[in-house]
Amino acid sequence: MTARRLAEWAAGLDVGAVPETTRRAALRHLFDGVGNGIGARRRDQGGPGLAVAQGLGGPAQAHPLGDVTAISAPAAAYANGVLMHTLDFDDTHAGALVHPTTVVAPAVLAVAEEVDATGAQAVTVLVAGLEVACRLGAAVPHGFHARGLHATAVVGPVAGALAAGLLYGADADALTDALGIAASSSGGLLEFLDTGANTKTLHPGNAGFAGVLAARLALAGASGPESVLEGRRGLYRALADRDVDPDVVVDELGTRWESASIGIKPYPSCQLMHATLDAVGRALADARTSGIAVSAAQIASIAVDVHPDSVAIVCGPGTGTRGPRSVYDAKFDLPWSVAALVHDGAVTVDTYDENSIARPEVAATAGKVEISTVPDARPAADAKGRAVITLLDGVEIVGEVDCSRGTSGNPMDHAAVAEKFLANTGDGEPARNLVEVVTGLADAPSVHPILTLAAAVVAGHRP
């Protein structure tokens, strides 16, 4: 069974078997995730999830990012999952359409702190968890989303349980049980898309919490079905309505690293609009190079090509015809985000605040965005982008990108990722020290300095 094959591989994984490039990639994603979580703290985002986690309390085992008071490991995993995802700035595996770090890293940080694991142990487990999250999602591209489920919330509890179980010292049998238990917590409805609610920000928190609990339950003697993934009532048939060839999930496991293909977001919005934002940005840049200064008032229309799988998520009813209903709604509104890029010249965390989304002039420009559904053989998150800006005088400006910036086909370099991190954390001494501590985790005695410095960064930026 696939769950057992994953468990046996993970239980036998040694840091020496992980290529250096894959280890560096995992640390880059941890770095990005920690920065996103601190960014949420600095902007008072994710407050309900953090407050509830703090209220759960429990034994002092692990810290939420930015806190000096420790709480139970499951509660800390919940808090950090919410914080890392709240800004919708977290990484994405395009083929899986999953945010791997935000469901794996919170479990790793919480349990590694609880058991005082070494940095090398934490990094090895992080790699294993990321790999499993990516592979579980990539086996059914867009399959969970097509059923109205958030793929991150489907695979998250399973990957989180694997990571937590490894750090607790579980063998392959206990890990198999943990995966079987965790999948009963898989879910995550996308109904928020029709109301503007921010429910999706809670999904990674639920995943981390469920993952840690599943690992503990397995070690306490609870059992889970080995057939939990491909069984008649298993994860794929129940939540994607598909049969999956088990070999697809484990093909070249340990030699082909899907986790090395995770992309890092340059925009704090749904990944499925990023190629369009890049294409519009390219058109505007080319216009400036040609001596054409484009203002919103000069634009007659903005025609954009969108992957069919993206339309229901970022071009749903009401997008382009009304302003965003909430900050989170704006992050899934492609026409409004395109319009904000035209008006502001950039899309940043500040683009999505209450004052920004209320601008009538941006909503008016959003009404000029015309959506064309254009098939692409690649997954929606890895699709090309094309935009044609037509000015009132009839001039057309075309922008095209083969894939969005930050994806594996057009990755952000370390300097760009560090710039994003410092934009989230603020460019102070604790933040710069945190850069060194996270990237050097493989050689560190524990994860404790990451949590200590994160608390210092947040404390230094409290109003």
Q: What is the pLDDT of residues 278-313, one digit of tens each?
A: 999 999 999 999 999 899 999 999 999 999 999 999
pLDDT of residue 425: 96
Residue 322 token pair = 């009304």
| Mean pLDDT value across residues 12-18 | 92
Q: What is the pLDDT of residues 243-265, one digit of tens each?
A: 888 889 999 999 999 999 999 99
Q: What is the pLDDT of residues 156-201, one digit of tens each?
A: 999 999 999 999 999 999 999 999 999 999 999 999 999 999 999 9
Checking if the pLDDT of 461 tops 90, the result is: no
Task: Name 429's Cβ contacts closer than 8 Å, sequence gap at least 6.
Answer: none
Q: What mean pLDDT value characterizes the chain?
A: 96
Question: CA-CA distance, 214 to 158, in Å (whole number)?
Answer: 9
Question: CA-CA distance, 224 to 207, in Å (whole number)?
Answer: 17
Q: What is the pLDDT of residues 103-157, one digit of tens each?
A: 999 999 999 999 999 999 999 999 999 999 999 999 999 999 999 999 999 999 9
What is the radius of gyration, based on Cα positions, of the chain?
Answer: 21
Q: What is the pLDDT of residues 421-432, one digit of tens each?
A: 999 999 899 999
Residue 159 token pair = 């990957």
The H or E element containing residue 213 is helix 203-219
Q: Are 99 and 204 in contact (CB under 8 A)?
A: yes
Checking if the pLDDT of 436 tops 50, the result is: yes
Question: CA-CA distance, 239 to 216, in Å (whole number)?
Answer: 25
Q: Is the dihedral of CA 240, 243, 246, 248 positive or negative?
A: negative
Nearest in space to 91 (alpha carbons), one of 300, 239, 308, 261: 261
pLDDT of residue 463: 44
pLDDT of residue 174: 98
Task: Name 150's Cβ contacts closer than 8 Å, sequence gap at least 6.
Answer: 144, 188, 189, 190, 200, 203
pLDDT of residue 460: 86
Q: What is the pLDDT of residues 356-403, one digit of tens each?
A: 999 999 999 999 999 999 999 999 999 999 999 999 999 999 999 999
Question: CA-CA distance, 246 to 326, in Å (whole number)?
Answer: 41
The H or E element containing residue 386 is strand 385-391
pLDDT of residue 267: 98
Q: What is the pLDDT of residues 54-103, one digit of tens each?
A: 999 999 999 999 999 999 999 999 999 999 999 999 999 999 999 999 99
What does pTM read for this prediction?
0.97
Checking if the pLDDT of 462 tops 70, the result is: no
Nearest in space to 162 (alpha carbons), one of 116, 118, 97, 228: 228
Question: CA-CA distance, 214 to 113, in Å (whole number)?
Answer: 18
SS3 412: coil
Express as a percent the part of the chain with pLDDT over 70: 99
Q: What is the pLDDT of residues 345-354, one digit of tens each?
A: 999 999 999 9
Q: Using DSSP bridges, classify how beta strands 385-391 and 299-306 pair: parallel, antiparallel or unpaired.
A: antiparallel
Nearest in space to 29 (alpha carbons), one of 267, 261, 264, 211: 264
Point out which residues pair with 386 in neighbouring strands: 305, 400
